[in-house]
Amino acid sequence: MKFPISSFSSALTLYKILSFPHPISQKNTTKASQILDLPNYIAITPNHRHFTTFNYETLCNCDVDRYITCDVSLPIQTIKTSDCIFALLYDNKSVIFHQCNFRLLPELTKSNIFELSPASIILTNAKEVTLKCPNKTSTLPGCQFCIQNIPCSCTLQTSTITYHPRLVNCQEKLQEPSDIKDHLNLKKIAKSAKKDETIFQNLAEPLLDGQITLDSNWPDTNGYLAIASITIGGISFVVLDKMNTRGSRKKRKAATKTTTLEATTRQEETQPPIVPDPVPNHLSTLEGVAVMDPYISYYKSTR
């Protein structure tokens, strides 16, 4: 016998929201901006029409198994695209600008580390980074705001902070950090969420929980080479086809001429030879008869 444990027909999808200060891209400034007044968690219904918010305290009192079961009744709200949360999720820039609570921080001079997932962190104002692994110690270039993947069993250190290693669910290969300058589509990231793959360097991952990968950008260099090869092959095929067509036409014309000549020659061979008529009696007295053609005679009279 099954007993209902929720008024919803299926489980809600839970998202974790993280907000970080981002340095302002201006010279000779240490200020940063950050979006405030965001909930810690949101849960969305399967039909994407309603949602509810969670905080850390509420989620800590839930039972975590295959599903997260919470013995609490939370108010359900209707999803509006004008809300800051869903504007961030669907990458609606105009709504983000008008609805989200941006705040200017006076300075961001302190180096800091924020964990995005078990395999990646955000570094801020790190002039130099040391990565200590079991078999190797590396010095990585610093960055103002970047995402760094952490290999398994490796410790990351800045001048003031140490990030202790993870033994499971971590990145096996090292990728050097770099300042993030590209803006990425959050809608594509939402479709790629919850995949057990390597995290991709982007600013949208704080909105999602888990490792995220993005669809590869295409066409890349190999894509352009493939397009060029297909184009050249198509042009070559068309040229060869036209050359073959012209050659076939010439062969047909030559065969027609040969047949015509053979038919004409055979017809001439079958016709009997033409014998000129004898000179009439009344012209026999003429001298200097010259027969120039079987049908044309030229006579010169001596009279």
Residue 253 pLDDT = 59
Mean pLDDT lowest among 9-18, 47-56, 187-196: 187-196
State the Cα–Cα distance between residues 81 and 40, nearest whole angstrom: 19
- Which of the residue ranges 49-58, 212-221, 249-258 has the most confident prediction, judged by mean pLDDT? 49-58
Residue 286 pLDDT = 39
Read off the amino acid at residue 86. Answer: F
pLDDT at 251 over 70: no
Mean pLDDT of 4-8: 67
- Which of the residue ranges 156-170, 216-230, 266-280 has the most confident prediction, judged by mean pLDDT? 156-170
Mean pLDDT lowest among 31-45, 63-77, 179-193: 179-193
pLDDT tens per residue across span 68-80:
888 888 888 888 7
pLDDT at 17 over 50: yes
CA 26 vs CA 32, 124, 144: distances in Å: 10, 16, 12
Return the percentage of the chain with pLDDT > 90, whole number.
Answer: 3
CA 51 vs CA 3, 28, 39, 83: distances in Å: 24, 42, 12, 12
Residue 245 pLDDT = 74
Mean pLDDT of 156-176: 72
State the Cα–Cα distance between residues 202 and 213, nearest whole angstrom: 10
Residue 63 pLDDT = 87
pLDDT at 214 over 50: no
State the Cα–Cα distance between residues 16 and 263, nearest whole angstrom: 93
Chain mean position to CA 271: 80
Residue 289 pLDDT = 38
Q: Is the pTM of this model over 0.95?
A: no
pLDDT at 82 over 50: yes
Mean pLDDT of 140-147: 84
pLDDT tens per residue across span 271-290:
555 444 554 444 444 333 33
| Tokens 């993947």 belong to residue | 149
Mean pLDDT of 115-125: 83
Q: Which residues contact 108 (CB under 8 A, 6 or more apart)?
A: 21, 23, 30, 31, 32, 124, 125
CA 21 vs CA 52, 103, 125, 133, 158: distances in Å: 25, 9, 11, 29, 18
The two structure tokens encoding residue 296: 């044309």
Binned at pLDDT 50, 70 and 90, residue 9 comes out as: confident
45 touches 86 (CB < 8 A):
no
State the Cα–Cα distance between residues 204 and 38, nearest whole angstrom: 15
pLDDT at 138 over 70: yes
Buried/exposed 55-75: b ≥16 CB within 10 Å, e otherwise: eeeebeeeeeeeeeebeeeee
pLDDT at 199 over 80: no
130 touches 103 (CB < 8 A):
no
Residue 180 pLDDT = 46
Buried/exposed 178-213: b ≥16 CB within 10 Å, e otherwise: eebeeebebeebbeebeeeeebbbbbbbbbbbbbbe
Q: Which residues contact 164 (CB under 8 A, 6 or more apart)?
A: 155
Between 217 and 93, name the one with better pLDDT: 93
Mean pLDDT of 99-104: 89
